């Protein structure tokens, strides 16, 4: 359920580096999530508000993961440096909400959020191999689009008008003979 899986915004916030930080996820908590697409957005709280007006600031391009099974699985992954929105000025003490959307292979979307307060990176626990790691049973695929791909297949032939007329006459003659 948009925007945060039905959970209310929180005043209990974690610290997150003002320069962007790590994000760790466990995608296989539910069945049917062997293949899933992920989107990561942020909502920026205006001063004096509890919740951001929307989550319309993407901070990581969409990507796809493939897990080991369609059953629940314990694998996890970590993005060690998720940047903040370019061309927006962030300050220590600003409140933002990080939104993660997981769209499973069957089309259902799971929304989850983390409410954070931006802090000096020295005040945030260091990202290292014990708190930011990737399971070996997950694979990642980038998602992209292009208008310049070709299949290498032969073009589909379109019948000429004389061919269409000949075919129509043959069908009419065949129908008359059978009648």
| Contact predicate 64/143, CB 8 Å | yes
| Contact predicate 17/124, CB 8 Å | yes
| Contact predicate 66/142, CB 8 Å | no
Give the model's pLDDT for residue 178.
46
Give the model's pLDDT for residue 151.
63
Helices (H), 2-155: none
Other Cβ atoms closer than 10 A to 38: 22
User: Residue 104 has which token pair?
Assistant: 């499973």
pTM: predicted TM-score of the whole model, two decimal places: 0.76
Give the model's pLDDT for residue 30.
80
Please report the domains of the chain, with CATH numbers, ordered by start residue: 14-144 (2.60.40)
Q: Give me the half-sphere count of Cα atoms (radius 13 Å) on the Cβ side of residue 1.
A: 4
Other Cβ atoms closer than 10 A to 119: 18
Residue length of the chain: 179
Give the model's pLDDT for residue 156.
55
Averages of pLDDT over runs of 10 residues in the chain (179 residues) are 79 92 89 90 86 88 90 90 93 95 90 95 95 89 75 56 49 48
Helices (H), 14-160: none
- Distance CA(53)–CA(71), nearest Å, equals 36
Give the model's pLDDT for residue 132.
93
């Amino acid at each position: 359920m948009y925007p945060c899986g039905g959970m209310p915004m929180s005043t209990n916030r974690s610290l997150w580096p003002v320069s962007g930080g790590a994000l760790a996820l466990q995608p296989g908590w539910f069945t049917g999530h062997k293949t899933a697409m992920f989107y990561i957005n942020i909502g920026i709280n205006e001063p004096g508000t509890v919740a951001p007006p929307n989550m319309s600031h993407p901070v990581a391009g969409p990507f796809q993961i493939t897990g080991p099974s369609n059953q629940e699985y314990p694998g996890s992954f970590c993005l060690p440096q998720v940047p903040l929105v370019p061309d927006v000025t962030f300050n220590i003490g600003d409140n933002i909400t990080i939104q993660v959307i997981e769209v499973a292979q069957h089309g259902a979307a799971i929304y989850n959020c983390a409410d954070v307060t931006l802090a000096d990176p020295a005040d945030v626990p260091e990202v290292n191999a014990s708190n930011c790691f990737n399971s070996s049973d997950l694979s990642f695929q980038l998602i992209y689009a292009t208008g310049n791909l070709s299949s290498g297949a032969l073009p589909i032939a379109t019948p000429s008008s004389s061919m269409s007329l000949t075919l129509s006459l043959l069908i009419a003659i065949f129908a008359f003979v059978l009648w």
